[in-house]
Amino acid sequence: MTAPSHVLSPLTSTKFRLPRFGLGGSPIGDLPDPAGDAVAMATIDAAYQAGIRYFDTAPSYGAGRSERRFGTALARRPRDEYLLSTKVGRTIDGAPDFSAEGIRRSLAESRERLGLSIDLVLLHDPGEHWQQAIEEAYPVLDEMRAQRDIGAVGAAAGDWQLLDRLVRDTELDAVLLAGQYSLLDRSATPLLDRCQARGVLAIVSGVLSKQVLQVDQSKQTTDPAIILARRISAVCERYGVSLPQAALAFPGRHSAVASVLIGAASQAEIRADAALVRQSVPGDLWRDKELLRLLD
């Protein structure tokens, strides 16, 4: 995990190359007060010490707590050493507001909570409001990008088809996909292919699912996801690779995927995940015929 290196974009002149891994801010926001602030600070510090240089948050993560905690923790770090993204379109209580004024207000409030400049601003899960997001929210961010008020513009959602529509109809720099592209679910491949064709960076989260982290070969099950996880895990073990290790490495094999977000709510958790990231995965694993059949 290395510090970000910026490259020029013909669209914005600020497009960047994201670090391979980042820290997602939802668990940071969910940590309850009053002890949560200290735990969050320690977790973010541990992530930084482990080499993570990309941090993602949102107003609705813990009703603003995530942004405040990231702002406090990262204020002590040189600003040019890391990338920071947050989201607009959802208020601190999660209510949708993709109006032009709502976007400006949300970004101003995020800046106040963070106390930091923001590299990437993401439209947060437009859902059924996707038309308003394109017609009202996106133009505001596009104008801010052109004026260098923000670095880059993207969208975040757990629906790959929604993101695909936004990539097709706007000039995004990045998308953040929650789920739908992992060892156990590759349904978002068409989105990633479109991102690759249009030069849009893809960020993937949710790869360390319950099925990946809690593989138990001894219990009987009819759950297809658990059965698939067990079969993939058995192949990985032949190469000395754990299933979580493979799950973290897999998304980056698609050339559109620039970064994988890891969610963590403790020092121990982020250190364990960072240790998995540092372990190399043998190339022979990805060429294994049984694995290829399972991933087909």
22: three-class secondary structure by DSSP: strand
* Residue 181, φ and ψ in degrees, nearest 5: -145, 100
Closest CA to 161 of 136, 127, 131, 134: 127
pLDDT in tens, the chain (296 residues): 543 333 323 333 345 679 999 999 999 999 998 899 999 999 999 999 999 999 999 999 999 999 999 999 999 999 999 999 999 999 999 999 999 999 999 999 999 999 999 999 999 999 999 999 999 999 999 999 999 999 999 999 999 999 999 999 999 999 999 999 999 999 999 999 999 999 999 999 999 998 898 877 667 888 888 999 999 999 999 999 999 999 999 999 999 999 999 999 999 999 999 999 999 999 999 999 999 999 98
Contact indicator for 277, 271 with CB cutoff of 8 Å: no
Contact indicator for 191, 164 with CB cutoff of 8 Å: yes
Note the pLDDT of residue 15.
Answer: 55
Note the pLDDT of residue 125.
Answer: 97
Contact indicator for 200, 163 with CB cutoff of 8 Å: no
* Residue 93, φ and ψ in degrees, nearest 5: -95, 10
Compute the CA torsion angle 180, 183, 187, 189 (nearest 10 deg). 100
Give the bridge partners for 120, in sequence order: 85, 152
- Enter the pTM of the model: 0.92
Determine the residue type at 75. Answer: A
How many C-beta atoms lie closer than 10 Å to residue 286's C-beta?
Answer: 15
Please say whether the dihedral angle defined by the alpha carbons of residues 88, 93, 99 and 104, taken in this order, is positive or negative: negative
DSSP letter string, 146-177: HTTSSSEEEEEES-HHHHHHHHHHS--SEEEE
Contacts of 280 (CB under 8 A, 6+ apart): none
Note the pLDDT of residue 214.
Answer: 82
The answer to whether the bond into 244 is cis (omega within 30° of 0) is: no
To which residue do tokens 């991933």 refer? 295
Q: Which two tokens stand for residue 265?
A: 């709510």
Query: Can you count the helices (H) and strands (E) in the chain?
Result: 14, 10
Contact indicator for 204, 177 with CB cutoff of 8 Å: yes
Note the pLDDT of residue 78.
Answer: 97
Note the pLDDT of residue 244.
Answer: 96
Ordered structural domains, the chain, with CATH = 5-209+243-282 (3.20.20.100)
